[in-house]
Amino acid sequence: PALLGVLGGGQLGRMFVHAAQSLGYETVVLDPDPASPAGMVSHRQIVANYDDPSALAELHASAHAITTEFENVPAEALASLALQRPVAPAAEAVAIAQDRVREKAHFVRSAQSSGVAPAPYAVIDSEEDLSKVPEDLLPGILKTARLGYDGKGQARVSSRQELAAAWRAAGSVTCVLEKLLPLALECSVIVARGRDGQVASLPVQRNLHRNGILAVTEVYEGSLPEDLASRAQQATRQIANDLQYVGVLCVEFFVLQDGSLVVNEMAPRPHNSGHYSVDACDCSQFELQVRALTGLPLPAPRQHSATIMLNLLGDLWFDASGNSRTLPWEQVLAIEGAHLHLYGKLEARHGRKMGHLTMTGASAADVRASALQAAALLGMEAF
Ligand code: ATP
Ligand code: MG
Ligand code: MG
């Protein structure tokens, strides 16, 4: 069978491997960790850094096509692999998504067609930029241009002094200052785009973040106003088309209290908010990733169940006094429609994504009841 390569061995890579195997492919995972979640379930793994020349040579010698599960792989690594093998997404798209300055510029461009713009922002690259920041961007959120995730690398600032201090504390690296917006809710859209430009879209996810980390995703009839969902899907298609994107792309949006839609950021890969598609749709975001990579057809996925996904962070593995505790999986799995996904990470840490629990049901009311029951059993906050 053909061998598919994936850069990155996290849980997204693990679920890509599962989907690839189902479709009859073998896989090779490149990750520096010998016990990575994806490496452990893959036919082959290469244990090395993403920019290691001999690892990349081994990867393109063995893999027929290559994808990534991690947006911070060096874009040059993807570009060099693409000289020999099909690579999706392309290095250029990943380079844009991994740099908030380029990402926002792309969103501004796509907004000319979609009408959905990013939050007002300024690029901060020097002391001089600090002094030129317009007053109406404050209070704001300072975000490092590169490498932030789960709210890391971000600081809320309400005055010029706080802004200057936060920028210096971030190491005076290139940052983006965004105006702090009054959010009513957050949502995200996942699309898969093929080399022929065909686009398949998953239903729109409604997301709840806690401490900058995704906590809950809900997708069912009525979880979002329909006009809002279709505007978000339209904007996502526009963003993907304007990038000539190939692969799975997730775009995050804010919905403001006045109902307007603002584009936040994108991930050039499957996304935590799309995990529900494994259990609630007839084609998951990971199957879409395999299909887009290998040039298989991209039928429109159909959602067959109302669903709520609960992220299982490492915090759950500790009790109030910090001792490790056993989680009541038997009770959780006794609830109808409970689908447990643990990523095989050896050590639980606060804020670390250890797994997720997807609840499926026949209706919004059913799935909300069962998800709240599961959350209570696990000691998670209600939503
Ligand atoms: P991810 O793990 O999704 O990549 P990240 O670290 O890149 O996260 P963002 O998505 O930029 O961070 O922001 C994290 C969360 O912080 C958002 O989902 C939202 O709840 C809040 N947030 C970010 N920017 C703004 C803003 N301009 N106004 C209000 N809230 C914001
Ligand atoms: Mg991000
Ligand atoms: Mg985000």
Q: Which atom of ligand 1 is nearest to the CA of 209?
A: 20
Q: pLDDT tier at 97 (50, 70, 90 boundaries)?
A: very high
Return the domain boundaries, the chain: 3-87, 120-179, 183-378
The string of DSSP codes covering 114-183 is H--PBPPEEEE-SHHHHHH--GGG-SEEEEESSS--TTTTEEEE-SHHHHHHHHHHTTS--EEEEEPP-E
CB-ligand 1 contact for 186 (6 Å cutoff): yes
> Could you confirm whether domain 3-87 is CATH 3.40.50.20?
yes
The tens digit of pLDDT for each residue in 113-154 reads: 999 999 999 999 999 999 999 999 999 999 999 988 877 879
Which residue in 87, 292, 93, 270 sits closest to 194, CA to CA?
A: 292
Report phi then psi at 24, rounded to 5.
90, 15
pLDDT on residue 1: 77
Binding-site annotation: residue ranges for ATP: 100, 143, 148-154, 178-181, 186, 209, 264-265
Q: Give the Cα separation of 51 and 166 in Å (integer).
A: 31
CB-ligand 1 contact for 183 (6 Å cutoff): yes
CB-ligand 1 contact for 180 (6 Å cutoff): yes
Strand partners, 249: 191
Q: Are 348 and 322 in contact (CB under 8 A)?
A: no
pLDDT on residue 375: 98
Q: What is the pTM of this model?
A: 0.96
Q: Whose CA is nearest to atom 17 of ligand 1?
A: 212
Topology of the domain covering 183-378: D-amino Acid Aminotransferase; Chain A, domain 1 (3.30.470)
The tens digit of pLDDT for each residue in 158-212 reads: 999 999 999 999 999 999 999 999 999 999 999 999 999 999 999 999 999 999 8
CB burial readout 300-334, b (16+ within 10 A) else e: ebebebbbbbbbbbbbbbeeeeeeeeebeeeebee
Mean pLDDT over the full length of the chain: 96
Task: Say which CATH class 120-179 falls into.
Answer: alpha beta
List the Cα angle 333/355/222 in 5-degree steps.
75
Checking if the pLDDT of 88 tops 90, the result is: yes
Q: Whose CA is nearest to atom 13 of ligand 1?
A: 151
CB-ligand 1 contact for 365 (6 Å cutoff): no
CB-ligand 1 contact for 256 (6 Å cutoff): no
* Three-class secondary structure of residue 52 per DSSP: coil
Binding-site annotation: residue ranges: 100, 143, 148-154, 178-181, 186, 209, 264-265
> Above 0.90 for ipTM, yes or no?
yes
What CA–CA distances, in Å, run from 63 to 6, 34, 44, 46, 313? 9, 19, 10, 12, 33
CB-ligand 1 contact for 208 (6 Å cutoff): no
Establish whether the linkage from the previous residue to 139 is cis, with ω within 30° of 0.
Answer: yes
What CA–CA distances, in Å, run from 83 to 56, 69, 78, 301? 12, 20, 9, 32
